[in-house]
A and B are shown apart, each in its own frame.
Chain A
Amino acid sequence: MTRLTRKYEFVDEAAADAAIALLPTDDEGNPTHEHLVTKLGYLVVTPATYDDEGEELTAAVLSDVFAVDVYWGSEADASWDSAIVFPTPMGIHSFGSSSSRDEYAKTYCTLFPDSLYCNPPEPEDIP
């Protein structure tokens, strides 16, 4: 069974929490849709800068959207589709799963077949 890593963006944490709360559960409150939610929060767009003493000169610039990754046990819940995003599968948060990472990369290339990631140009030959 290949679990799915899917990435989502919400306007803020409250919107993310609202979506999480709407995921279906049984009578005892247990999820009927196997999943693991990881709130990544407002991702750093530009890192903070510091002086030689380590004092902050400029604060980090954060994304204006709230990022959430979900590790679905099988299919992703369709009610979340409106918030789904597909960042390039390099240097992004993962659930430490080889199979899920490969599935995400394959899906990415299905959706974006002309992207540089899926069609890396041969680098300049420098003998």
Chain B
Amino acid sequence: MSLYDDASLIQVPSLYKDGLLVSTVPEDRSGDFVFSRGSNLAATRVNSSGFIEKGYENLLLQSNTFSDAAWSTQQSSVTNSQSGYDGTNNAWLFNGITFNSRIQRSTSASGVQTFSIYAKSGTYNFFRVRLDFSGGYYEQYFNLSNGTLGSSAGSTPIDSSIEAIGSDGWYRCFFSLNSATTFVRIYPASGNTSINGAGSIYIQDAQINQGLVAYPYLETTTASVSGGILEDQPRLDYTNGTPALLIEPSRTNLVNYSEFFGYSSWNTENGNQIVTQSVIISPDGAKNGSKLETTSGSDGQRKFWLQQNVAIGSPHTFSIYIKQVSGEINTGFLHITTGANDTFDVSQAYTATNEWQRFSVTTASAKATVARFLITGASNSQVYIYGAQAELGSYPTSYIPTYGTSVTRAKDLCTNSFATASSATLYNSFYSTEVKTLYILDQLLTIAVGENKLAFAFTPTTITISLNGSIVADATGTYDTTALASIQLGNDNGEDYSESPISGFYVFPSVLTNTELNSLTV
């Protein structure tokens, strides 16, 4: 018989759904945890493939119902039930009747966004997409006969591309931009720059999602639809190789553009910094990492930075993912300055490697309400960058993507109403990124970097603690262990977050022996 057979609650993070973390024991579900956060687009985790996973959504309504009244057909017609790129009959024949034929609809999306649509030649080999914003537009032709980009007009998009899907002539066509988009128009085209005449193409599955790349398609009807991480989904993080529950406090990413470094809120000095957008696979697995080249060889002329409001006297942490460009100088510094220009409050050297690493620097402004967060490369250095984050707090929390405004990830809460006896044993395994001190009742212990396995048996007059296979405390005293009517993982009523992802939590309704405690934590 296993010791685990004696457990009244076993929580090994693995089974979950939106708003619920399932415990293996008890089987009557009374030990399951209610999970809440209320943020999907601000929440990320490292998934089992090792990539940062985000919440995302399709903001374009009626995304594959081109006959809906929201889509206006102008000198054109649409016919459904056509053979699609995905083996379904969900594609549409889009037939232009005369000059300037199109379908169009209003939309509402702001900041960095990517429009995408699947398309295939009909009697026409080209089509045009135009997105309008107040005072301007983006326009792009796509060549469906050979999968190349055609002409463009209006504002210059951040990126545009056409990718073959299968071998049946279908392509996914997209372009990313930074604007407050109000209108979408799609035109069949007789040629590159020509929307004359009558002809057709096939279309399917349009999408507008925030970010620099097109995410997997999500079907919408009358409301936006979300994918990836959901609002109240427990986040099982695989940073350490095995799933561990992320329980984090609320944080705001003060960086308005965390992935689009070409925007003007990111400043260069003397033009000595060159950013090339979307050139490498980033830590989220998409080609949205940027290259930062520092051309100046002079000290003091290598700043790449942004400025944000900060709270005086409170710690702020600036973090960013960096990877080396092969064969290039790969060193530099992260800085935060809150005083006069170039007076760094704190600096942290980095050496980029062939793996993406997250570097961070922390300081508290004692004198200014505005701080500058800087990256300074060594002379003639080149590095890849992704995922900038500036947050109020003494350590970096999980990445919060931003595409034009600051974004707050609300706090994680994970609770249940499972009653624990006044004499019992608790087990908790968790990961720590630093050596630190932990208090359990009146006992103090030091936890190590990496996974820590901790078990403690308590009564109203005794406590025994085992850490990583050894008894580290065995004390007597007077302890209030009554009224243990609920369990909160990783925090205390939304405060005092542990910073430590949880890989296991068990309750035993009895006081285990020292040998049993050590067998749990070894």
Chain A contacts to B: CB under 8 angstroms: 3, 30, 36, 38-44, 47-48, 50, 52-56, 60, 62, 69, 71, 73, 89-100, 102, 105, 117, 120, 122-123, 125-127
In order of increasing CB-CB distance, the 3 nearest A-B pairs are A96-B42, A123-B132, A96-B39
Chain B residue nearest in CB terms to A42 = B309
Chain B residue nearest in CB terms to A96 = B42
Interface CB pairs A-B, < 8 A, 5: A36-B411, A95-B408, A98-B224, A117-B108, A122-B104
The yes or no answer to B329 lying at the interface (CB within 8 A) is: no
Are the C-beta atoms of B309 and A96 separated by less than 8 Å?
no
Which chain A positions have C-beta within 8 A of B341?
Answer: 54-56
Contact residues of B: prevailing secondary structure: loop
| One of B267, B300, B407, B411 near A94 (C-beta < 8 A) | B407
Are the C-beta atoms of A53 and B55 separated by less than 8 Å?
no
The yes or no answer to B217 lying at the interface (CB within 8 A) is: no
Which chain A positions have C-beta within 8 A of B41?
Answer: 94, 96-98
Which chain A positions have C-beta within 8 A of B110?
Answer: 90-91
Chain B 328-343, CB-CB to A under 8 Å as 1, else 0, gives: 0000000000000110
Are the C-beta atoms of B309 and A71 separated by less than 8 Å?
no
Which chain B positions have C-beta within 8 A of A39?
Answer: 311
Are the C-beta atoms of B38 and A91 separated by less than 8 Å?
no
Are the C-beta atoms of A30 and B223 separated by less than 8 Å?
no
Chain B residue nearest in CB terms to A60 = B370
Which chain B positions have C-beta within 8 A of A52?
Answer: 269-271
B39, B55, B270 interface centre (most CB from chain A within 10 Å): B39
The yes or no answer to B40 lying at the interface (CB within 8 A) is: yes
Chain B 100-121, CB-CB to A under 8 Å as 1, else 0, gives: 1000101010110000000000
Distance in Å from the Cβ of A116 to the closest Cβ of chain B? 8
The yes or no answer to B99 lying at the interface (CB within 8 A) is: yes
Chain B contacts to A: CB under 8 angstroms: 38-43, 55, 57, 99-100, 104, 106, 108, 110-111, 132, 137, 180, 182-183, 195, 223-224, 226, 231, 250, 252, 265, 267, 269-271, 300-301, 303, 305, 307, 309, 311, 341-342, 369-370, 400, 404-411, 493
Q: Take A56-B341, A60-B307, A120-B182 as given contacts and tell me if A95 and B39 are in contact as well, using a CB distance cutoff of 8 Å.
A: yes
How far does the alpha carbon of A1 sit from the alpha carbon of B363 in the complex, in Å?
38
Assuming A43-B309, A90-B108, what are 18 further A-B pairs, CB within 8 angstroms?
A: A3-B38, A39-B311, A47-B307, A56-B341, A60-B370, A71-B410, A90-B180, A91-B405, A93-B408, A94-B405, A95-B42, A97-B39, A98-B41, A98-B57, A98-B224, A120-B108, A123-B182, A127-B195
Distance in Å from the Cβ of A67 to the closest Cβ of chain B? 10
Are the C-beta atoms of A54 and B305 separated by less than 8 Å?
yes
Contact residues of A: prevailing secondary structure: loop
| One of B231, B265, B404, B407 near A98 (C-beta < 8 A) | B231
Q: Take A54-B341, A91-B180 as given contacts and tell me if A126 and B252 are in contact as well, using a CB distance cutoff of 8 Å.
A: no
How far does the alpha carbon of A94 sit from the alpha carbon of B183 in the complex, in Å?
23
| One of B100, B267, B269, B409 near A96 (C-beta < 8 A) | B409
How far does the alpha carbon of A96 sit from the alpha carbon of B253 in the complex, in Å?
11
Are the C-beta atoms of A93 and B405 separated by less than 8 Å?
yes
A91, A98, A105 interface centre (most CB from chain B within 10 Å): A98
How far does the alpha carbon of A125 sit from the alpha carbon of B139 in the complex, in Å?
12
Distance in Å from the Cβ of A76 to the closest Cβ of chain B? 14
How far does the alpha carbon of A40 sit from the alpha carbon of B309 in the complex, in Å?
9
Distance in Å from the Cβ of B255 to the closest Cβ of chain A? 12
